[in-house]
Structure formats: structure tokens, C-alpha cells
Amino acid sequence: MTEIAMNGAESLVLTLAGAGVDTCFSNPGTSEMHFVAALDSIQGVRPILGLFEGAVTGMADGYGRMAEKPACTLLHLGPGLANGLANLHNARRAATPIVNIVGDHATYHAQYDAPLASDIAGFARPVSGWVHSSPNARTVAADGARAVHAALSPPGQIATLILPADTAWNAADGPAPALPRPQPTPVADAAVDLVAQALKSGKKSAILLRGAALKDEGLAAAGRIAVATGARLFCDTFAPRLARGAGRVVVERVPYFAEQIVETFATVEQLILVGAKPPVSFFAYPGKPSWGLPEGAQYHYLAHAHEDGVGALEALVEALGAAKAEFRVAPLERPDAPTGRLNQYTAGQVIARYLPEGAILSDEGATASGGTVLATIGAPPHDHLSLTGGSIGQGIPLATGAAVACPHRKVVCIQGDGGAMYTLQALWTQAREKLDVTTVIFANHSYGILNVELARVGARNVGPKALSMLDLHNPELDFVALAKGMGVEATRAETLEDFDSQFADAMARPGPRLIELMI
């Protein structure tokens, strides 16, 4: 075999590194071996192994939300991509920038319909904003540069590059230069003027914020608008990233259940949308509305998702003459040591009591997360990451990716026991990479939300067979043993005092660490 100066995989890795992609979350196979070798021979991209593709894609989501740039994933053919689709669904809903590199059979091998052959592009399209298969090794580098550019297209999206094996091993010309980073589109003056007039009308108003508007600058501008107009501030039920805690403007979360959404917005006459969509219920229910706004209420887009929501809010502040308005922020309020029995509310008070400044909270506590969300309103400033697409199994890998992106910040994952079992393999990656993550498992031995939903949807003749489908007893999961089996220090808290001492210790030492709460 004639030795070549550079192959397609090497040109792609060099291109990714040059475009700022410095992390690759990976679960590779045969078709990706040349890319794996390139990661070893070329500096600039850190490879991180995940033991299941659903964990890999969840890690890339957490990384992208916090780093505000894409990591790449390395996935094996269609089945590997398919294993990662659930957390790519969540990432798509979060508008997280991700570059998927998916290996494929060599172009000339496709004619034989080998056992692992599949419609990779067909798997990728529902979760991707950009999909492309490299036709030959000399286009791979340019295709990689376009993939990064596509992933960064505001507000962020998933770009999937399919890499046939021969395009990875054949000769390439070299890396491609990075393309300019796309910027959010400025909001038209007319949109600002329309919303300013609407807010001056005296109608009862609310503002629903998403994306960059939920970070410090956007919240400050929204806070001034709220003071000047009396408008209420909201974020989605599951916001991708929300700046919370002491010194930050408090926003209300849109409730989860349909009738609660309707009640929350019952008096709202107009809703201003900043990077968000109008509120709707997660599911349809017999006899309950899907649309969250009252009849006759109007809604106006100040900024669409691809537009500069923060700039639009600041322009609106000027249009309202509210530049000097003193916006209200949450005071620092650490709870005293709670007493009584261990439940989601007392556990939340413990978390708020010890949460360090600058922490990242990955929240997939499901029915058990409300206590922590309530208690941490006045905790030291932190970022809150939610289960954006509703597909459980996100919390632990999301925390893992966030810890890779922000190695000097403490990451706390609050996780329901049912969802934890989808992607528990991410604990192994935390141990291997020595990541500072503390995972708190709320162990109620049940798919708690489904027990609630079973009654809400009006299902009839519910008996022991149906209830067994929602129950996690017989046998009970042992998360201490499971975590230790993957190299993570783990303890069990059966009392409030247990949890107080264990969580305080976890915050005082670097992780990874797992605490199983018996609630």
C-alpha cells in the first residue's frame, strides 16, 4: 500500500480543531477506526469514551449548552446513531450546537447490503438541521468546516456528517479553514416599536424568554422592562439553560400540567415572545385544552429564535425609557439546616444550603425536582439545565458533558431513579475522566410521573398488571452498588441527617460522587 501524506480522517480532525471543536464524545466501531487513529496522532481534540451512544449524545448536549460551541460525537453507522437519537432529540429542543460524525460503509461496499447497512441520513434528519454524506476524501475537510458552521447557526442546531470509511482512509488535500461564526440576526426596529406600544397599552402582559435571553444580560434587560411595565417574566417549563440564584432576576417557570398552564395565564391579555414559542401542554388530555393562552389573548414576537433576543430586549428598554429602572433580583437566602423526614423538599433545602457559587445544576429529578428548584431560588448564582425534550435519560450524561466544558465548576445532577437507568453508563465516563460531578438519585422506586399521568389521561380498569409497568420494586435497584461498579464513590442516605452530612462532604471534595436518597 502506498503511504499517503494525509488521509480524509486526518484532514477532518485538523479542520474540526481549527474550527474550535476541541472535544469528541465517542463510541466508535470498525468504520471509524481511521478517525480514532487521527485523534491519537493529531493534537487539539480531546477524545472521551462513552459506553452507550445515548450517553455520548447527552454528554455532547451538556457540553454544548455550557461551552456555547459544538463538541463532536463519533458514532458507529446507523445503529449507533439510532442509539443516540433520544438525547439528540433533547439537544435539538435545546438548540444545542453539536457535530455528529457518523461512520458508514465504504462507498463501493454499499452495493452489497452488508448486515450493518442502513439509512443513516433517514435516522439523522428528524434531529438534525444539516445532514451531509462526504462523497470522497478530498471533500471531507470542507464538509467538516460546513458542519461546524451549520451547528453554530443561531440559535444552534445539530449537524450530522456521514463519513464513509473509504473517504476516511483515502488521500486528502489537507484541512479546510474555519468558516466565520454565524451571528444572530438583529431584530427589526418595527418589531421593537410594536412591542413597546403593546406594553404601553395597559394590558396585562407577560414576557416568555428563552435562549441567551435567560443569561445575565438578557435577564437584566427583562427585569427593567418588568419594572417599567408591570409585565410578568416567564421561561419555558424546561429551559435549556437558565441563570438563577442570588443577584439574578427571577422568572416564573411555565407549569408542566395543562390546567396549571391555563390557570397561570388566565389573566394575561398579551404575551411577548423572546426566542420562545407560545405555551402549550406537553400532552393532550381528554377534556383539557392544549393551548395555554386564554381566548382573545394576543401574542407578539419581539425576537424569533434565530434573532438577537438580548439586543432586542435592550432596544426595548430604550424604547420604553426604562434604562434607569432598578430591576429586582433574588436575595441570597441559604436555608437553615432542615429538620424532619427526608423528602424532596427537605433534600432541596440541603442542596441549596451547600450549593457553591458558580455551580451547574443538571435537573432530571422529574416529580422529585420541585423541592430543589424551589429551595435554590436564593442560592448562590448558578446555571440550571433542564430536560428540554422530555425524553428521560438525559440528566447524568448532560451533567457529564457540562463538567467537561466547565472543569472548574461544581456540577450537581438531581436525577430520578427511573430515568437514571437509561444512561447510567455516563457514571463510568465521569470516573474515567475524574469529573467533578455529584449525582443525587431520588429513589422512589417508581416511574412517578407515569403514576400521575395514568390517572390524568382517564385510563380505565387499572389493575395490578398496569401498575406493575410503572413500579421499580421486585427487585429494587441498588444505585450504590451500580455506581461503585463503575468506579464512582457512592453512599446511601436514609435520613435527612445522612443526606446533610453526605452532600456537605460531596461539595467539599472533588467528584465524581453519587448519593442515593431513599425517599
Do 253 and 389 reside in the same domain of the chain? no
Strand partners, 74: 26, 101
Do 15 and 158 lie in one domain? The reply is yes
- Of the three residues 169, 199, 216, the one that is the final residue of a domain is 169
Question: What pLDDT sits at residue 219?
Answer: 98
Residues 216, 157 within the same domain: no
Residue 450 has a pLDDT of 66
**Residue 260 and residue 165 share a domain:** no
The reported pLDDT for the residue numbered 447 is: 64
In degrees and rounded to multiples of 5, residue 160 shows phi and psi of -115, 115
> Are both 430 and 478 inside the same structural domain?
yes
Task: Tell me, yes or no, whether 210 and 254 share the same domain.
Answer: yes
Whether residue 221 lies inside any domain: the answer is: yes
How confident is the model over 244-257, as pLDDT tens digits?
A: 999 999 999 999 98
Bridge partners of 291? 280
When pLDDT is cut at 50, 70 and 90, the band that residue 455 belongs to is low
Beta strand 232-235 with 298-303: parallel, antiparallel or unpaired? unpaired
Q: Of 320, 336, 366, which residue sits at a domain end? A: 320
* Position 206 pLDDT exceeds 70: yes
Mean pLDDT of 104-130: 95
Is 0.85 topped by the overall pTM? Answer: yes
Give CA separation, 497 vs 301, 342, 354, 489, 509, in Å: 49, 8, 14, 19, 19
Identify whether 54 is part of a domain.
yes
Nearest in space to 439 (alpha carbons), one of 516, 328, 385, 348: 516
Q: Is there a single domain that holds both residue 84 and residue 155?
A: yes
| Rounded CA separation 84/100 (Å) | 10
Residue 442 belongs to domain with CATH number = 3.40.50.970
pLDDT band at 236 (very low <50, low <70, confident <90, very high): very high
Indicate the residue among 169, 202, 234 that finishes a domain: 169
**86-121 b/e (C-beta count within 10 Å ≥ 16 → b):** bbbbbbbbbbbbbbbbbbbbebeeeeeeeebebebb
The answer to whether residue 473 sits within a structural domain is yes
Lay out the sheet containing 489-493: strands in order across. Answer: 242-244, 382-385, 359-364, 411-416, 437-443, 513-518, 489-493
Q: How many domains does the chain have?
A: 3
Q: Which of 282, 281, 314 is nearest to 192 (CA)?
A: 314
Q: Are 251 and 235 a contacting pair, CB within 8 Å? A: yes
Q: Which three cell numbers stand for residue 135?
A: 462523497
Answer yes or no: do 34 and 149 share one domain: yes
What pLDDT is stored for residue 454 in this prediction? 63
Chain-centre distance of CA 33, in angstroms? 29
Residue 448's pLDDT is 66
- Whether 327 is covered by a domain: the verdict is no
Q: How far is CA 348 from the centre of its chain?
A: 21
Please check whether residues 419 and 360 belong to one and the same domain.
yes
Ranges 138-142, 313-317, 368-372, 453-457: which has the least confidence: 453-457
Structural domain includes residue 250: yes
| Close Cβ partners of 143 (under 8 Å, ≥ 6 residues apart) | 12, 132, 134, 161
Give per-residue pLDDT as tens, 397-413. 999 999 999 999 999 99
Judge if 217 and 152 occupy the same domain. Answer: no
Query: CA 195 to CA 229: how far, in whole Å?
Result: 11
Give me the pLDDT at residue 470, please: 67
Tell which residue, 300, 331, 337, 302, has the closest CA to residue 319.
302
Give, for 71, the enclosing helix (H) or strand (E).
strand 71-76
Confidence of residue 474 (pLDDT cuts 50, 70, 90): confident
- The 71-76 sheet, strands edge to edge: 46-49, 23-27, 71-76, 98-104, 158-164, 130-133
Residue 238 included in any domain: yes
Determine the structural domain holding residue 281 and report its residue range: 189-320
Q: Mean pLDDT over all residues of the chain?
A: 94
CATH number at residue 204: 3.40.50.1220
Residue 329 lies in a domain: no
CA–CA dist 197, 299 (Å, integer): 13
pLDDT at 34: 96
Per-residue buried b or exposed e for 285-302, using 16+ beta carbons within 10 Å of the residue's own CB: beeebeebbeeebebebb
Instruction: Check residue 191 and report its DSSP letter.
Output: H
Check whether 284 has a pLDDT greater than 90.
no
Residue 295 has pLDDT above 80, yes or no: yes
Examine the domain organization and report whether 71 and 211 are in the same domain: no
Q: Is 487 exposed, middle or buried (0-12, 13-18, 19+ CB in 10 A)?
A: middle
Whether residues 312 and 399 share a domain: the answer is: no
Q: Which residue has the cell 448564582?
A: 381
Residue 158 above 70 pLDDT?
yes
Residue 331 domain flag? no
Instruction: Give the H/E segment covering residue 441.
Output: strand 437-443
Q: Give the CA angle between residues 389, 512, 417 to the nearest 5°.
A: 45
* Lowest pLDDT segment from 34-43, 142-151, 285-294, 422-431: 285-294
